[in-house]
Structure 1
Amino acid sequence: MEDISTAKSNLSKVKHILLVLSGKGGVGKSTVTVQLAYSLRQAGKKVGILDVDLCGPSIPVLLNLENKEIHQCPDGWVPVYTDKDQTLGVMSIAFLLQKSTDPIVWRGPKKNAMIKQFLEDVYWQDLDYLIIDTPPGTSDEHISVVENIQEWNPDGAILVTTPQGVAIGDVRREISFCQKTGVKIIGLIENMSGYVCPNCSDCTNIFSSGGGEALAAHASINFLGRVPIDPKVHPAKGQSMLDSLATTTTPAIFQDILTKAGLL
């Protein structure tokens, strides 16, 4: 008798799966994930964000979805949506915690089981893009994600770095991880590449610039572009980052990034 699993029925309806990776923490993977999702949604796509950073889930904070609860339906967990039209859905461990300050003190096997459940049991419905926001490093969580999405032919990974040498070194290891695990690298984004003055809009290179582009050239991967720090992008308390993005030039930068990546 044929056994059609929930995982097959759920993930089979997702047209494109993207990973956001970096070997370094603090480079802005979660903000890049939200910016990618925003720009894809602006292009008329239905998008889902899966936050698998179990120890430091940031997506609910950025989207003002803290203290939201997930619900069960016959096909699995229902994502938390940012809008009534259900064009951007989110799943995160944060929705399962009693308090946002509760720590996740788990060994590797339990983390892997949680990630597998996220990938199998979330009812995304018909989705154009599923963006998976990952934790720093190249360890258990990453291997678990890659192993569980491999049969669904993910589009690949977008790597995120900042211009400094210490970040470049860690992201170089992430490139090796992708090569060893067979994950296609779509391209690399140099985040925090300069600071946009909120008054005059001039961009100053406070962390240097060009490190990401040099790494991409050295590794023969696609350089997708530079994203400066724009203080207007950071949401105020009680506000979603989606609202602040609408008032900046950052979406235009990400439209160009998505075009270079071949995703639009």
Structure 2
Amino acid sequence: MDGISIIIPASNEAGHIGPCLAALAEAEAPDCAVEVILSANACRDATVDEAAALRPALAARGWRLAIIERPEPGKPGALNAGDGEARLPARLYLDADVRLSPGLLAEIAELIDRPEPAYASGRLVMTAEGAVSRAYARTWARVPFMAAGVPGAGLFAVNAAGRARWGAWPEVISDDTFARLHFSPAERHAAAAPYHWPVAPGWRALVRVRRRQDSGVREIAARYPALLANDDKAPLGLAGALRLALRDPASMAVYAGVALATRTRRARGWSRAR
């Protein structure tokens, strides 16, 4: 593989982008060229300054850090700007609050180093603050799709043949679902190395983010129904819910309560977990 461009859309990610880039700077280098592109959109904080401070650490690895500053808000626009800046054929799309483990980047690069279209992500490890979010995360992490699938939440990579399956990023709520469903289950590859993905903090944030997630899935189904042929997300079902409830009743109560609360109103647009 000739190389991989790591594209990080970011809006007001001060306090998060630094640790994200620091984890990248400490990652095991893949056997290919690497560049990092921060696509900052409508930032009103120190996101860009914090990212720029990590430029020497990335340069020491021989990796270019490009910083795009866009006044317009919106993640799809930030992704498109990042793709427009990218010089290398494979892409890794990374949320600014995600932290890679040291071995993940090299493992993902190896997984997508093939001529046929390929998609890859790491082993998702949820991090949560507060009793409510920790309880929610325990059940969510045990849902079969999250535990055994390749959800790609916050981090996914595609090779050049895979990225050719769509053009510009459309204005959709769930960009990760849109990308994942361009690949059959057999074309999705799971790395053993983990990455850390934060769960929304507190009840209100959990409900808001769950609404966004559910709305994003409905939007993809309505606008891109052909992609559903690649969906391998089986419903949990009553038997599965009972098994999870028996294993951890308090966690399941929070998880079910959030799911019930999301039905009162549908989300619009894209929002962060925080």
Structure-1-length-normalised TM-score:
0.34
Greater helix share, structure number: 2
Structure-2-length-normalised TM-score:
0.33
